[in-house]
Chains A and B, each alone.
Chain A
Amino acid sequence: MTILQKELLHELSNSVVEMDDERTTELAEQYVENKFDVYEGIANGLAHGMDRAGKLYEEEEYYIPELLMCSDVMYAGLDVLKPHLDYASTANKHKAVVGVVEGDTHDIGKNLFKIMLETTGFEVIDLGRDVPPIDFVNKAKEVGASVIGLSTLMTTTMDNMAVVIELLKKENIRDDVVVLVGGGPISQSYADKIGADGYAPEASAAARLAKELVKELKKSA
């Protein structure tokens, strides 16, 4: 790796953390002009910056608005880099199906989780909000998902997470997919109670957990 590439990766990461969209676009263009590895630019530049922003969020240096602005900036950089991606290098991405369970339309947590999953290297299929349990199962089967991410902010709808898990069992695909649950009223004990594979109190930790659990899933397959 040349010094210039290292510097550009470092600057891309910084410009995401600093929420500077113009600077990020300029740096991404410069990166492409120099014909550097685009996947590396995403992973070690933009996503690296997003990861740092996620840590700042965990440390309560950044809050949701700052995190969203960082993700906007990351996407601005992605718009420049993506057209130059060699898609063969991303063909083996794991797929994750995410959504807010039926009865709930609060999707901030789900959206953050989606961004974190994408930056962690997943291809994410976002089913949106108020999603019936069967839709998670059908979509996971259709795309061969490794992860299902279920989100809710309401106690009145959290039981729909258990319904999704029961449906996965009925379809005999429970062991093929990692189920992660999250959202305001969700806790580790609730995740254990309904037989989910994982829970994390916030999006970046949940995305990291998804990555670890998928590795375990592959080992045991």
Chain B
Amino acid sequence: MNRRKIVEKVLAAKMVDYIPKGEIVITDGFINQFKAPHLENVLEYLGSDIVTISINSTKEDWKYWRNKEYFVFGLVQGPFTYLLEKMGFHSICKYIVKKPNELEEMMNEYLKKMVNNLELALYYGCDGILFADDIAGNRGLMVSPRFLKNYYFKVVSNFLDQIHRENTSFIFHSDGNIVELTDTIYKSGFSGIQCLQPSTNISINSFSNEQLQKLCFWGNFEFEMKNSELIETEVTQLLKDWSVCSRYIFSSSGGLYEGISKERVKNAYLIVDNYRKNL
């Protein structure tokens, strides 16, 4: 069984003795540690099961990665991050407070433009969608849950309805602590959550048994500022904690960046592999 099939089964809770591994993003800063600095070499070295590429990738890219047998996630930038970059923080805050309906319309317009690329991606080889929008920080939500539920997730839910596929996983990513939105995320049409930033006190204990049954959980580890010994201890504990959830995928919460040692990530991935064998 190839990596894609295994990830598919885990996402569907049909395989409980395997913990897949793969990142939301692997930056050039991390890749440049390698003598042959190419994403594919990095994925092979780490033993990743997943590759994540931009939803705006070419037909050739999708086909290429499809043939490599990785589970291919297409990364979609969410409307909040897009409009934040376009309008600036102050301006978007004004709209949130004073003109939420206009902001809703802007988010709608943005996502409408994404539909075509997404359809093409799914047609040519994209296996799942990773919808990334940083709506929270370390302290919690950046924006009121009221706005998020009444406007943001309404728009996102309509978007997911348009592109719904029976066997395609839609995973929501946000930095920070979004635990209080777990049910809203599920109701909006997502089948999982990526990131689960532990430095914001997110752990398996943040979720109810019902939520753990309904959703896939991906991440919940941070490599930053940790030596090999600490990584080994924490990854082992993390896997033990998440072993009650049949749909857990291991990765760093926010991706692999310059300054994170490739050897340490490799060791973490090996621990995940060995843990599986020990199950």
Contacts and interface: CB of A to CB of B under 8 A. Distances in A.
Contacts of B5: none
Nearest to B199: A185
Given A65-B143, A68-B90, A155 B137 contact: no
Given A65-B144, A68-B93, 4 more contacts: A65-B143, A108-B89, A184-B138, A185-B199
B144 A155 contact: no
A155 B225 contact: yes
Interface in A135-165: 153, 155-156
A134 interface: no
Contact residue range for chain A? 10 to 19
Contacts, number: 43
A184 B96 CA distance: 23
Contacts of A185: 138, 199
B140 A69 contact: no
A65 B94 CA distance: 7
Given A63-B143, A108-B89, A155-B225, A19 B259 contact: no
A64 B97 CA distance: 10
Contacts of A68: 89-90, 93
Given A155-B224, A156-B259, A185-B199, A65 B93 contact: yes
A66 interface: yes
A202 interface: yes
A153 B137 CA distance: 9
B97 A69 contact: yes
Q: Which 4 A-B pairs have the closest CB atoms?
A: A65-B93, A184-B138, A65-B96, A155-B224
A190 B80 CA distance: 31
B240 interface: no
Chain B residues touching A, majority SS: mixed
Interface string A86-104: 0000000000000000000
Interface residues of B, number: 22
Nearest to B180: A60
Nearest to B93: A65
Contacts of B140: 60
A131 B259 CA distance: 21
Contacts of B277: none
11 contacts: A62-B144, A63-B141, A63-B142, A65-B92, A65-B94, A65-B142, A65-B143, A68-B89, A69-B93, A184-B137, A185-B199
A15 to B, nearest CB: 14
Contacts of B225: 155
Interface string B192-209: 000000010000000000
Contacts of A184: 137-138
A21 B142 CA distance: 23
B113 interface: no
